[in-house]
Amino acid sequence: MTRPDPPAATDDLFDAIAALLEPDQRAYFYRRMLHFRQLRPDDELLRIVEAIGFLALIIRAAPGAVAIERQHLTQLFATHLATVDAAAKTGQAYHEQLDDRLTQLPAEIAAGISPPAIAQAITESLRQAFVRSGLPATPEALGLLSRQLHGTTADFQRRVRSAPPIAVPRCRPRTGSSSCGP
């Protein structure tokens, strides 16, 4: 009975494992694996050896993959740390600016509510209200009215003097009566 050809995958697996070994250990490895090449492809022992071989490949590659991933994570961490540090510095600067503004705020408020400034604002407001009220024009209007009244009075006096005299009845006190009669 002839032995079936072992699958190429098993040979590839053994070759991949041998490539991981030091050159002086490869001959010993191939002599040991020679027995497994004679097994049927569905033999359970061959399957266990293949699983162990895959595990050896994974374990051999794991430290390098972990180192690469660690380096990648270190770079990410450094980038994020720099971003957080920059954000913290910016936040600190804004906080200091806010503190400075809050410290200066009472002085700015005091300057904004200084009594001379308030008095000047009130005076200007009163002056504008006085102008809008029309009071500045009142003396002029009263002067005009006074001149008109003086003219009317003078005209009235002239007319009274030039008018004929009017007879006015005289009143005598009577007993019990206060009427005037002829």
Best CA proximity match to 53, nearest among 73, 38, 70, 36: 36
Task: Give the pLDDT band of residue 10 (cuts 50, 70, 90).
Answer: low
Mean pLDDT of 55-72: 83
pLDDT for the residue 49? 78
**CA 112 to CA 110: how far, in whole Å?**
5
Exposure b/e, 23-54, CB count within 10 A at least 16 = b? eeeeeeeeeebeebeebeeeeeebeebbeebe
Most confident among 5-9, 26-30, 174-178 (mean pLDDT): 26-30
pLDDT at 75: 92
**For the whole model, what pTM was predicted?**
0.35
CB atoms within 10 A of CB 10: 19
pLDDT digits (tens, 9 = 90+) for 108-136: 776 667 777 778 888 999 888 888 887 77
Count of beta carbons in the 10 Å neighbourhood of residue 14: 21
pLDDT in tens, 138-182: 888 888 888 988 898 888 888 888 878 777 767 666 666 555 555
pLDDT of residue 54: 73
CA–CA separation, 16 and 12 (whole Å): 6
What's the average model confidence in pLDDT over 58-79? 86
What is the rounded CA–CA span in Å between residue 9 and residue 15? 10
Question: How confident is the model at residue 50, as a pLDDT?
Answer: 76
pLDDT in the model for residue 71: 92
Give the residue among 39, 50, 42, 43 at the shortest CA–CA distance from 9. 50
**Residue 4 pLDDT:** 41
What mean pLDDT is reported for the chain? Answer: 79
- What pLDDT was estimated at residue 6? 44
Residue 92 is predicted with a pLDDT of 92
* Per-residue model confidence (pLDDT) at position 7: 45
